[in-house]
Structures are given as structure tokens and as C-alpha cells.
């Protein structure tokens, strides 16, 4: 069977599943996973008017991928001031964050579900001149329909983990057909390029340029909020547990208990990956006897606060600046870790667990220059925190992290060059 057969079957089903997709949307809406005011965007509809002139469409799946695109978008608009940008994402968390940081001449919309009618409605309205997808967010109908309309396609920041590679092997024909639609493929690492070559018969040879997340601009913050939080903390030592997932908060509390034997005034700030878990985390920790303050409830850090739950959106830039010690969550459980260059660019010493396969090369690079430290359990974490309370140890590790992150601007530069080549070939502004 030719590779196109698998894609043909997928598209055939995609054209007949409008009713199923609508029921799925209603279920997600009831579960609080969709924005009720913007639900029609998932059906390819929008109240936004397409701006005149050139429109470049970026698609990113999640918060991290969206943030990684911001610097790239700003550079494009600066270089080509008549160009308009459309960015689509699929989660409410990414939408909430991206809408607070939209560059000029940029519109955000939710990506339509991968159903023929929704995809066609979306493309009929926006008529993008160029489509740019990120990482591994590869929707067959969306990509195939875009390609069929002779819209150039670029895949940037491509990443395929060994786990994803194992899954794609079972539908190798479909994967190969999808990748064959792209005109340019830029990978984060050599492993991804190797996996793509093994899985795809595409004539396009993937290029390794590094990760856009490493060259993304520093996360923003409110100077006013930093002044308020710093005043509440005073001279107390503090450490941060960022983007934590279920079960990790209790490990953080255990490590905090051990570390407080050496520093009784030590404060732990927990920023859960999913802020809606904040109240549950707070309740669990209070039941264990901890003095906890909850940011979403308007509670402040006082002299009795032992753990502060920062369950809000879009404030990671604030917390990385408040604490010079950052433990990155999703790494003590099988989540795969999160982007370590966000704290690195802000000069924070980085601690993480053993499960960091989603950004393995980034963590490996940081580890080589002693800019991060892997820990296996709460006991090791508590000892690392105590060690990093030493200003000299902390400064050395944080400096190494910052220096490495400052060198990693090449991915953005190469991505920009490839995008401009396509645009120049197309003509226009």
C-alpha cells in the first residue's frame, strides 16, 4: 500500500465526523476544557476579520510552544511591517497566556478540530500565505488541506521523543504522508532528525538547528508584583517548585521539611502546572499541618507562611525572578519535564528529577556545564536546596545556566532565515 492510502482513509473519516466532533466539543465545554465564548473557533469560525495583505499562520499546541514563537513573531513583524500574524493554539491555558503577550499585528484563534468542514471553514476565512507548525502538533486533515491549497508549509522546532517514535512506527505510512506535505523541516536535535528519516519517505531532508525554546525572550513580569512579593518575603530564603504535577507537591513538601531543619525561615513557593489544582494542593498540605497561603484566594505571604501556592496564569517570569533556586516539575513523575531555559535565562539555579525526556538534550547541556542538577528523591532534593542556600554555590550554578542560555540564539536565527527565504520566493512585502 502506498503511503497516501493511510492519509486517504483518515481524510475520508475526517469528512464524515462533524456530528461526532460537535458532541466532543459539547462534552469538553461541560468539563471546563473549552472557552464557552470562543467555542465556534474550534469549528473553524471567527468574528475576527482577515486583515488585508500577507498573513503568516503559526500553530502551536501548548503554552511552552506558544511562548517560544513570540520572539520569532516579533522579529518577523519588525523586518516585514506589512505582514500580519495569525497564531492558533489548542488549550485554554495557552490562549489565556498568549492573549496577554500578543505582539503587534498578531491575532490569536483556537485551532479548529481536525474535521474537514471545520478545517475548510478556517482556511476559507484566513487564506494564509504561509503556514508554520511547531514541534509534533501534526493534524493530518489540517496539514493535507493546507497543502492542497498550495499554501507553503514549514515545520519548525520539530521534536519526536523515543516514546513518540515508537507510537508513530505503527502508522508509519500516515506519518510519512503528513511530513511529505512540508517544504521545510527544522529539528530541535539530531535524534528527531534521525527518527524523521526513519519514518518518512519525504524528499525534504530535516535540518538540525536547535530549540526555539532556548532562544525565546525572557518571560515577562510585573515590577509592581515583584515589589509586593519581595516585601512580603523580606529577608527569608526561598526556593521554587515550578510547573509541578500531581504527586510532586507532596514530594516538595517532604524535601521542604528536611531543608527547614537547616533553615527554619525557609519558604517554598509552589506553582502548579495546572492552576486549577491550587485549592486541592492547598487543602492537602494544610491537612498535613503546613501553614499555606493561596494566591488565587488573595492570601499574602506572612511570617507564618511555610508554603505559598501561586495558582495563577502567566506569572512564571515573576516567580523565577523571586527565587534563585528552581526545581522544575514534571520530572519526578512520567511527564517528561518542562523547558529548563525559562529559569536559565533569568539566572536561576536549576534542579530536576530523572524524567526529562521531553527536553533531554537541553538538560544534558545544562548538566555538562554544572548549570543544573538531577535529583532522585526528596532527600536528595532537600540536600541540594541546602547547598544552594550558600550564595557562592548558587551564583556559580545560576551564572552557568545564564551563560549557556545566552548562547542558544542560533535556532531562532536559522528559522527566521528559512521563513524569509520562502516569503521572498513568494514575493509580496
- By annotation, the residues acting in catalysis are 65
Residue with cell 517570569: 317
d(CA 60, CA 40): 19
* Helix/strand/coil for 58: strand
* Helix/strand/coil for 156: strand
Answer for the pair 64, 34: CB distance below 8 angstroms, yes or no. no
75 torsion bin: left (phi>0), alpha (psi -120 to 50), beta (else): alpha
120 torsion bin: left (phi>0), alpha (psi -120 to 50), beta (else): alpha
Compute CA distances 116 → 27, 142, 306, 340, whole Å.
Answer: 20, 8, 52, 37
Per-residue buried b or exposed e for 238-272, using 16+ beta carbons within 10 Å of the residue's own CB: bbbbbbbbeebbebbbbbbbbbbeeeeebbbbbbb
Cell of 194: 534521525
Give the number of C-alpha atoms closer than 13 A to the C-alpha of residue 73, restricted to the C-beta side. 28
The CA angle 297-300-304, to the nearest 5 degrees, is 120
- Sign of torsion, CA 416 418 419 420? positive
Compute CA distances 117 → 2, 15, 19, 22, 24, whole Å.
Answer: 26, 7, 11, 11, 15
Give the number of C-alpha atoms closer than 13 A to the C-alpha of residue 147, restricted to the C-beta side. 20
Which stretches does DSSP call E strand in 72-177? 84-89, 106-110, 130-134, 153-158
Amino acid at each position: 500500500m502506498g503511503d497516501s492510502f493511510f492519509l486517504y482513509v483518515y481524510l475520508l473519516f475526517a469528512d464524515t465526523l462533524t456530528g461526532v466532533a460537535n458532541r466532543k466539543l459539547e462534552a469538553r465545554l461541560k468539563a471546563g476544557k473549552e472557552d464557552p465564548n470562543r467555542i465556534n473557533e474550534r469549528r473553524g469560525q471567527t468574528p475576527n476579520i482577515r486583515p488585508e495583505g500577507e498573513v503568516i499562520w503559526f500553530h502551536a499546541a501548548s503554552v511552552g510552544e506558544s511562548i517560544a514563537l513570540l520572539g520569532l513573531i516579533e522579529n518577523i513583524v519588525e523586518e516585514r511591517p506589512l505582514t500580519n500574524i495569525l497564531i492558533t493554539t489548542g488549550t485554554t491555558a495557552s490562549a489565556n497566556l498568549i492573549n496577554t503577550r500578543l505582539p503587534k499585528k498578531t491575532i490569536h484563534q483556537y485551532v479548529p478540530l481536525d474535521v474537514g468542514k471545520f478545517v475548510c471553514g478556517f482556511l476559507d476565512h484566513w487564506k494564509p500565505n504561509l503556514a508554520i507548525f511547531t514541534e509534533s502538533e501534526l493534524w493530518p486533515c489540517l496539514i493535507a488541506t493546507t497543502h492542497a491549497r498550495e499554501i507553503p508549509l514549514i515545520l519548525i522546532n520539530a521534536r519526536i521523543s523515543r516514546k513518540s517514535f515508537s507510537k508513530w512506527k505503527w502508522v508509519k505510512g500516515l506519518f510519512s504522508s503528513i511530513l511529505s506535505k512540508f517544504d521545510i523541516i527544522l529539528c530541535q536535535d539530531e535524534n528527531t532528525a534521525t527518527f524523521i528519516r526513519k519514518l518518512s519517505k519525504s524528499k525534504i531532508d530535516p535540518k538540525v538547528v536547535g530549540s526555539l525554546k532556548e532562544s525565546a525572550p525572557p518571560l515577562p513580569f510585573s515590577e509592581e508584583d515583584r515589589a509586593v512579593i519581595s516585601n512580603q518575603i523580606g529577608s527569608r530564603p526561598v526556593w521554587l517548585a515550578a510547573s509541578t504535577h500531581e504527586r510532586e507537591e507532596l514530594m516538595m513538601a517532604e524535601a521542604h521539611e528536611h531543608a527547614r531543619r537547616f533553615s527554619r525561615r525557609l519558604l517554598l513557593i509552589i506553582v502548579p502546572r495546572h492552576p486549577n489544582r491550587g485549592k486541592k494542593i492547598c487543602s492537602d498540605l494544610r491537612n498535613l499541618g503546613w501553614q499555606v497561603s493561596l494566591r488565587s484566594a488573595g492570601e499574602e505571604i506572612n511570617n507564618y507562611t511555610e508554603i505559598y501556592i501561586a495558582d495563577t496564569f502567566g506569572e512564571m517570569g515573576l516567580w523565577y525572578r523571586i527565587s534563585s533556586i528552581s526545581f522544575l516539575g514534571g520530572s519526578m513523575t512520567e511527564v517528561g519535564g518542562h523547558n529548563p531555559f525559562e529559569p536559565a535565562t533569568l539566572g536561576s539555579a536549576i534542579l530536576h528529577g530523572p524524567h526529562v525526556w521531553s527536553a533531554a538534550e537541553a538538560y544534558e547541556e545544562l548538566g555538562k556545564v554544572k548549570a543544573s542538577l538531577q535529583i532522585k528523591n526528596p532527600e536528595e532534593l532537600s540536600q541540594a536546596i541546602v547547598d544552594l542556600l550558600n550564595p557562592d554555590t548558587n551564583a556559580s550554578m545560576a551564572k552557568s545556566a545564564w551563560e549557556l542560555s545566552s548562547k542558544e540564539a542560533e535556532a531562532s536565527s536559522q528559522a527566521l532565515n528559512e521563513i524569509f527565504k520562502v516569503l521572498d520566493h513568494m514575493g509580496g512585502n
